Structure 1
Amino acid sequence: MRPINGDHVNRAVAGLVAALRPAVDRDWENTGAGRLQWSCRKTAEHVASDLIAYAGQLAGRAQEAYVPFDIVLDEGTDNAGLLHVIETTGMLLATAVRTTPPGVRAFHPYPFRSADREGFAAMGVAEVLLHTHDIAEGLGLAHEPADDLAESVLTWLFPHVQPGPAPWPTLLWATGRGELPGRAPVTDWRWRNNLVIPTERLTLTGVRPAAARDLRLGGDGGLEWLEGGPYEGTREAAGFLVKAYEAGVHRPEFGVFTLVRHEDGRAIGGIGFHGAPDEEGRVEIGYDLLEGARGQGYATEAVRALTEWALAREDVDLVLATVEADNLPSQRVVTRAGFTRATVEELRTAREDHDVEGGLQLYVRRT
């Protein structure tokens, strides 16, 4: 898989310049930008400001807030000069994305207070594509980006949005800028960077739909894996994630996570939920670990961390784990992670009402 990267940022910016350069002699200051409350000029300045801000977050490794600086254009900068500024800030973001090591995250407020280099690249591309549309609409210019750019934004930042018949109209609809047949208009929206949950020795890294597709098809999901990885269970879970995404029912925080080891940055397994919590606040957890990483407590560490994260939420009251009766190592993992064997009544209910297979041992952990 080729993750979204600095080349995508450069292509998006080149598309903006190509679309808007024919109108540099127009009055951007007194022309509204599409459906926005801003003028075309203010919108273009906003693009430049966002691009340099995202570059600054990555370069400065900001963890608690935005790096406290902003961009100010020289007095008298015309529209052509502003496009040059956007080209420059776009290159700065592209360079920051290229030079930031894998796994590094910096502050971004929504929704989990951080983003990785792919997230910042995707946000930069989103800002450029969407605001090029706004400005072009205000100026009466034609603009439609390449499908792969729009699809990258959707699969990296909008995992909760069901894909539509084509990426660009879907992205416009998802951001309140257009309509899709059979779907209600969007009046409030946010993109979603992936969730990460750190532990002492691991980072549980949320898998995005783009990476899940690659894993399902036999790729590495953009990760460096320990020998033998990814395990088949991770690929199967990635396939379920893609199906949920395509059906429009994917809840990213209750999806699939890879276990990335701090000491060498390698992925050593997968963990995740079988779906979102049901109406009773029940959610089931599953995991796998590559053979070369077993026997060192990684699975217990990951199961404990993900379970405690889930139980801290208001919509989760009970976490379940099903283990084969002869899989004693896995039974020890969940026990060390705070789970207990289900009662006879709990097991009967799980089999009758929740399709838990016979022959499996049921373990539970409550709030």
Structure 2
Amino acid sequence: MDAKDVTEVAAHCAAFLDGVVEADWAAVVPGMGWTVAATAAHVSDCLLWYATDLAAGPVELSTAEVAVRPGSPPGELVRTLETFASVLASVVAAVPSGSLGWHPWGLADAAGFAAMACDEMLVHTHDVGRGLAVAFEPPPRYAEKVVARLFPDAPTGHDPVDTLLWANGRVPLAGLPRREGWRWRCAPLDS
């Protein structure tokens, strides 16, 4: 995955979120215990962390505390998501080929960080929709790309959106129970 994927997924998610800014963002997302606003803020936090981690290289950089305020107005939370996605896309596009950044689950390349960001945006925008009782359907082509990059162990032959949501522990998948524990394969594909 690449910078273009990050910006396109961000635009798709932001368009949905912009359409629900008048809803109750204090609503709790079922099964998560987070409010809609906290879920949206978490996505933006991740986008900025990923940009920083990729730019910093293979050693953890833990000198700063940055957090998006979930109490911000919903429209500003959407703008923050778009802005931080743009920052990450710029870093993904700018790092030299083969660069690795630190992540708690292992070193990741630019494609890995782009995929993790797209996963965060798609799945948590879906969560926001659940919290607001408004359906959000991740675009199948991006769901398929995220699953291929981050979840190579996922079963094949299923709807890509269902597989993405299953891989992230959100739903059961055609005879498989809801996944209780999961982990991304964030390392470069050739490692």
Which category of TM-score, normalised to the shorter sequence, fits these structures? Answer: over 0.9
1:187 lines up with 2:187 in the alignment: no
Structure 2: tracts of 5 or more residues without a match: none
Write the distance in 1 (CA, Å) between the matches of 2:34 and 2:71: 20
Within 5 Å, which residues of 2 pair with 1:23-102?
23-29=20-26, 31-61=27-57, 63-73=58-68, 77-102=72-97
The 8 Å contact of residues 33 and 137 in structure 1, kept in 2 or not, is answered as: yes
TM-score of the superposed pair, with normalisation by structure 2: 0.92
Output the aligned Cα RMSD: 1.8
Q: Percent identity?
A: 35
**Cα contact 2:43–2:124 (8 A) shared by 1:** yes
Q: Report deviation, 1:80.
A: 0.4
Contact preservation (8 Å) 1:35, 1:177: no
Distance 1:85 1:109 in 2: 24
Indicate if the aligned counterparts of 1:19 and 1:142 stay in contact, CA closer than 8 A: no
Give the alignment of 1:115-264 within 5 angstroms.
115-194=108-187, 205-206=190-191
CA contact (8 A) 1:35 1:134 kept: no
Cα offset, 1:27, TM superposition: 2.3
Report the CA distance shift for 1:163/1:78 in structure 2 as closer, same or farther (over 3 A).
same
Per the TM alignment, residue 188 of structure 1 is displaced from its structure 2 partner at its CA by 1.0
Corresponding residue for residue 10 of structure 2: 13
Greater Cα shift, 157-166 or 124-133: 157-166
Change beyond 3 A, Cα 1:75–1:37? closer
Paired with 1:130 and 1:156, the residues of 2 have a C-alpha distance of 15
Shift of 1:195: 5.8
SS at match of 2:19: helix
* Structure (1/2) with the larger strand percentage: 1
Q: Tell me the distance in 2 between the aligned counterparts of 1:75 and 1:37.
A: 14
Shift of 1:72: 4.0
- Taking the aligned partners of 1:76 and 1:170, their CA distance within structure 2 comes to 32
1:65 maps to amino acid? E
Counterpart contact for 1:57–1:106, Cα < 8 Å: yes
Mapped contact 2:116–2:186 kept (Cα < 8 A)? no
**Per-residue deviation, residues 267-314 of structure 1 (Å, max 9, x unmatched):** xxxxxxxxxxxxxxxxxxxxxxxxxxxxxxxxxxxxxxxxxxxxxxxx
Contact 1:173 1:186 survives alignment (8 Å): yes
- Distance in 2 between residues matched to 1:37 and 1:172, nearest whole Å: 18
How much has 1:173 moved relative to structure 2? 1.1
1:99: Cα distance to partner?
0.6
Normalising by structure 1, report the TM-score.
0.49
Question: Secondary structure at the residue paired with 2:129?
Answer: helix
Query: Aligned AA for 1:42?
Result: A
Larger radius of gyration: 1
Using the alignment, how far apart are the partners of 2:144 and 2:114 within structure 1? 13
Q: Residues 188-244 of structure 1, C-alpha deviation per residue, up to 9 Å, x if partnerless?
A: 111112368xxxxxxxx33xxxxxxxxxxxxxxxxxxxxxxxxxxxxxxxxxxxxxx
Secondary structure, counterpart of 1:23 in structure 2: coil
Q: Is the 8 A contact 1:53 1:70 kept in 2?
A: no
Opposite residue 151 of structure 1, the aligned amino acid is E
In structure 2, how many angstroms separate the alpha carbons of the residues matched to 1:83 and 1:75? Answer: 11
Gap change, CA 1:44 and 1:76, over 3 Å in 2: closer
Count the aligned residue pairs.
Answer: 191
Q: After the TM superposition, which of the residue ranges 42-51 and 171-180 deviates more from structure 2? A: 171-180
